[in-house]
Structure 1
Amino acid sequence: MTDRERLRTTFGEDATRYHRARPAYPPQLFGRLSGARILEIGPGTGQATLPLTRLGSVTAVELSPELAAVARVHAPLARVEVGAFEEWPLPAEPFDLVVSATAFHWLDPAVRMTKCAAALRAGGALAVISTHHVAGGTEEFFADVQECYERWDPSTPPNLRLSPAAGIPREFDESDEFEAPEFFRYEWEQVYDTETYADLLLTYSNHIALPTRDQLIADITRLINTRYDGRVVKRYLTQLAVAHRS
């Protein structure tokens, strides 16, 4: 099993925490999307699913049964099925829009573009949403916290620093089955207290799988409480890439 295959199964460990801690997506992003029949890949607990149901009829395919159960409650108008998208049988009627929000990179790169194209009608759109932590917010904290990561996670590069939003590449898989993508970018910030920031970290696969995660979280918690008065601000870049099927 590859790291990608192993880590993508970790998110259902605490579905309630995942739903509570994971941030939503900028609402204006959904104004760029349209389609009567929508397929969502990897909905998690439904952060993007709910606004997608306001656009059209949504079928969502989620790997984790635990996350899918929460998504059904959060977005009751969506049809949420459990399974790996790579193995999920496509319906006879194609979709107008395929969406993957912060999940596309977990799909098998050998098949994801081909299968998304097969799921779409001619001219239908693939929308890939990615979320990036960028420079900004409480910048001094995000520099100081690297000492915690270097202490408890030996894979941490020394003196790691966040990139500015302008330094995040506009990435999209090359495929002859899709036209050139359009990119839309949204920068925003979210305030976290110590508890909610620790909650957020424990929804990230690399933190969930880390053997020393309890020591790492305790170290970060102590740093926020003692040097940042129990409050930090995180700056996000949400990128939307939209490409139409050729």
Structure 2
Amino acid sequence: MTDLRSTFGTDAARYRRARPAYPAELFTHLTGPRILEIAPGTGQATLPLTALGHVTAVELSPALAALARVHAPAADVVVADFDHWPLPSDAFDLVVCATAFHWLDPATRMSRCAAALRTGGVLAVISTHHVAGGTSRFFVDVQECYERWDPSTPPNLRLSPAAAIPREFDESDLFGRPAFHRFEWEQAYDTEAYADLLLTYSNHIALPTRDRLIADIRSLIDTRHDGRVVKRYMTQLAVATRR
């Protein structure tokens, strides 16, 4: 079975080019000065975090880590699996995981984050959701492509409004009640940029019929949506204090 975590590093340049940044306002809810970032990818959140303090970033993929070092040169980027990385003896003030917390071992991720933090330190979990909006007709039409080339696609799948996305955060006695902040925003893509974005998602990378799926989606954008679509995102920040 393919380890889907490993797919992100297969084309690090594409990941850097295609993955969007995070809303700037999100970082106004975070403070340093000693910061641990888990799974930074190519540094989409790392650079703004370095404005808050010193960042140690732990990234599984050597290829992604190499680009994170280029784009956030003030950070110390370590190549390691956070689930097994030896935690430093000096505790952090802030632990951040952006759009990757679901890849960590659910049995240990909260306890390891707590162990990395000082008492009163903060865990910040950022998640990114594709929600209803943008070029709505395209996201209805494109389901035909997925149903044609990906047998795991539920029939007639539709995007949920942002308000319907649950506020998720692991329950843990090690942390106080989380606070949630939400940011909705849109980004426009031409045909090639949207194909680029899809090829940074693990389920698309690993799909045996991905080339036919992507070709079908390219054709749909070009022929029925004038070569341009708008995607609506909802970025959620959950923050909780280490007891």
Equivalent residue number for residue 155 of structure 1: 152
Structure 2 CA distance for aligned equivalents of residues 228 and 146 of structure 1: 15
* Aligned-partner residue type, residue 68 of structure 1: A
1:219 has 2:216 as partner? yes
* Aligned-partner residue type, residue 237 of structure 1: M
Of 174, 180, 183 in structure 2, the residue corresponding to residue 186 of structure 1 is 183
**1:35 Cα offset (Å):** 1.3
Equivalent residue number for residue 53 of structure 1: 50
Unaligned runs of 5+ in 2: none
Equivalent residue number for residue 15 of structure 2: 18
Equivalent residue number for residue 175 of structure 1: 172
Please list the CA deviations of residues 98-152 of structure 1 after superposition, one character each: whole Å capped at 9, or x if unmatched: 0000010100001100000000000000000000000000000000000000000
Equivalent residue number for residue 74 of structure 1: 71
1:65 has 2:66 as partner? no
SS of structure 1 residue aligned to 2:212: helix
* Aligned-partner residue type, residue 9 of structure 1: S
* Aligned-partner residue type, residue 243 of structure 1: A
Structure 2 CA distance for aligned equivalents of residues 48 and 105 of structure 1: 17
| TM-score normalised by L of structure 2 | 0.99
Structure 2 CA distance for aligned equivalents of residues 86 and 162 of structure 1: 32
Structure 2 CA distance for aligned equivalents of residues 10 and 109 of structure 1: 20
* Aligned-partner residue type, residue 31 of structure 1: T
Q: Percent identity?
A: 78
* Aligned-partner residue type, residue 64 of structure 2: L
Equivalent residue number for residue 103 of structure 1: 100
Structure 2 CA distance for aligned equivalents of residues 17 and 137 of structure 1: 23
**1:174 Cα offset (Å):** 0.5
**1:62 Cα offset (Å):** 0.2
Structure 1 CA distance for aligned equivalents of residues 208 and 68 of structure 2: 29
**1:169 Cα offset (Å):** 0.2
SS of structure 2 residue aligned to 1:52: helix
Kindly report the root-mean-square deviation, in angstroms, between the aligned alpha carbons of the 2 structures: 0.7
Structure 2 CA distance for aligned equivalents of residues 55 and 136 of structure 1: 33
1:234 has 2:227 as partner? no
Structure 1 CA distance for aligned equivalents of residues 91 and 140 of structure 2: 47
Structure 2 CA distance for aligned equivalents of residues 135 and 116 of structure 1: 32
Please list the CA deviations of residues 217-242 of structure 1 after superposition, one character each: whole Å capped at 9, or x if unmatched: 00000000000000000000000000
SS of structure 1 residue aligned to 2:69: helix
Structure 2 CA distance for aligned equivalents of residues 105 and 123 of structure 1: 24
SS of structure 2 residue aligned to 1:11: helix
Q: Count residues with an aligned counterpart.
A: 243
